[in-house]
Structure 1
């Protein structure tokens, strides 16, 4: 099923320390995505920025040891951190510190070269929270990607950042949209679409409208511990979320995205990629933090 040389994925965005109740763990949605994409058979590169400080050096070292290529620009801003608190069910809430290194990622010649040869790019809204810097770098990445590259928009609405101009630009540049059941009505409202009800059918209707409006190849909806839906142009896959003993759900959605895209790039069909994504994200929920060590039975050969 795999090709002789692995497909390549590049993402631009946040790399930070998640300050969890049991200590700090590496995180940031694009970095989480890249970690899991790399563990599912593709060559993944995280383009990010850290400060000239010990936290930044340690973070880059941990990511590299995890088998992920990292292009970490060093600038005068501090390395990013996020305070994470967990509720009784292990569901996290985030306090993302602003004015940090990853807000200032530059679209350098090195980054342009990486992007222009990549089979896929991935991006989200968190890193575009400021009206300069990394937002501009992501816009440039979308423009520099190959015409046939997969463009994966994992919307990741956090900290109340909902900017219609940014989301529109990111949707127009995407071929795949991933969104969760809490974000779906927010995005529907942004684009004048009737809000979905609680039924799967009504959610599918909004997904279909978004796909048509933005010419998307695939729309993915995750509904936490209940189910996920993957809608292609002429097929649909709906799977229940496995019931597991949850440690926390930090990075679960990102692991879903990384595994799904990796399998799609490797030539698996939509349903098989969906099954793998569900399997990986369920495992991540049983572990603390976003970058757990894969067990032998889950690891790719």
Structure 2
């Protein structure tokens, strides 16, 4: 499926349980990225923290069973494992109530974490992990510690846990930025651009952050990718949406895996769109996906 899956990826940030009514499912955008990337056969390490509690034990067990390295998941004594209450509307779109503080707000550097980042080819991170100073400071230190790794910023805005100043700092240090359409319009507007054109917004962000690769997802309308000075498009696949939780994470994991491994942007965009669509058609953030399903959808 990939020309080079010997690449090593690291994902930094929140790991938690998404709670849907009486049911809980493993979640957190960075963890979803890690799990999906590992499912493609890449070596993946998760950097995070859990509490010294049952939920933390369950999370680490689940992650290890899915062959993601957990040596860099800290057990925090003073704070509980993260919980998010998820509410779905009639279209399957989600809103979130994110517990604060949680163990993943207190990720501190240790020798295992330093080693994993130094060996990494790809580093995934988002904005939510910066809502507390401890994890924020750790993230910035790690981002600067290995100049050779490819830094992928999944913007993933969760109000009120961000500022435009923070987002600008994170974008400036990134090699690749992924937005949804609402996010890029909000951020570009705050930075001074007043335009409804996604292409204009993408070029504006690229120029102002010196980031050469940017992707914007548009829900059922597909996505746009800026890669090496050219735009690539996908109109999206039509599926019956069960819930959108984790669909964007799997999309990004697939896109980066294909881009970095195969260097074929249009094929990467097509593949990622199929992966995201299949995840949206299933309950939860991390459903199992057979390669035959993706091939069938792409052929259609």
Q: TM-score scaled to structure 2, two decimals?
A: 0.93
**Contact 2:271/2:294 (8 A) holds in 1:** no
Say whether residues 1:124 and 2:126 are aligned partners.
yes
Of 167-176 and 37-46, more deviation after overlay is shown by 37-46
- Number of the residue aligned with 1:154: 154
SS of residue in 2 equivalent to 1:289: coil
SS of residue in 1 equivalent to 2:19: strand
- Number of the residue aligned with 1:135: 136
Structure 1 residue 282, shift from structure 2 partner: 0.4
Q: Deviations over 1:56-99 (max 9, x none)?
A: 00011112222322221001210000000100011111000001
**Contact 2:128/2:162 (8 A) holds in 1:** no
Q: How does 1:2-81 map to 2 (within 5 A)?
A: 2-3=3-4, 6-21=6-21, 23-70=23-70, 71-76=72-77, 77-81=79-83
Distance 1:209 1:41 in 2: 35
Say whether residues 1:208 and 2:203 are aligned partners.
yes
Structure 1 residue 168, shift from structure 2 partner: 1.6
Structure 2 unmatched runs, 5+: 296-300
SS of residue in 1 equivalent to 2:67: coil
SS of residue in 1 equivalent to 2:138: helix
Distance 2:284 2:69 in 1: 20
Say whether residues 1:227 and 2:242 are aligned partners.
no
Distance 1:203 1:161 in 2: 24
**Contact 2:152/2:174 (8 A) holds in 1:** yes
**Contact 2:6/2:43 (8 A) holds in 1:** yes
Say whether residues 1:286 and 2:287 are aligned partners.
no
Structure 1 unmatched runs, 5+: none
More helix by share: 2
Structure 1 residue 126, shift from structure 2 partner: 0.7
Structure 1 residue 299, shift from structure 2 partner: 8.0
Q: TM-score scaled to structure 1, two decimals?
A: 0.93
Q: Deviations over 1:161-201 (max 9, x none)?
A: 2312321211111010100111112111231122x32xxxx
Structure 1 residue 263, shift from structure 2 partner: 1.2
RMSD in angstroms over aligned alpha carbons? 1.6
Structure 1 residue 296, shift from structure 2 partner: 4.7
Of 291-300 and 103-112, more deviation after overlay is shown by 291-300
SS of residue in 1 equivalent to 2:105: helix
SS of residue in 1 equivalent to 2:262: coil
Distance 1:189 1:273 in 2: 29
- Number of the residue aligned with 1:97: 99
What is the number of equivalent residue pairs in this alignment?
292
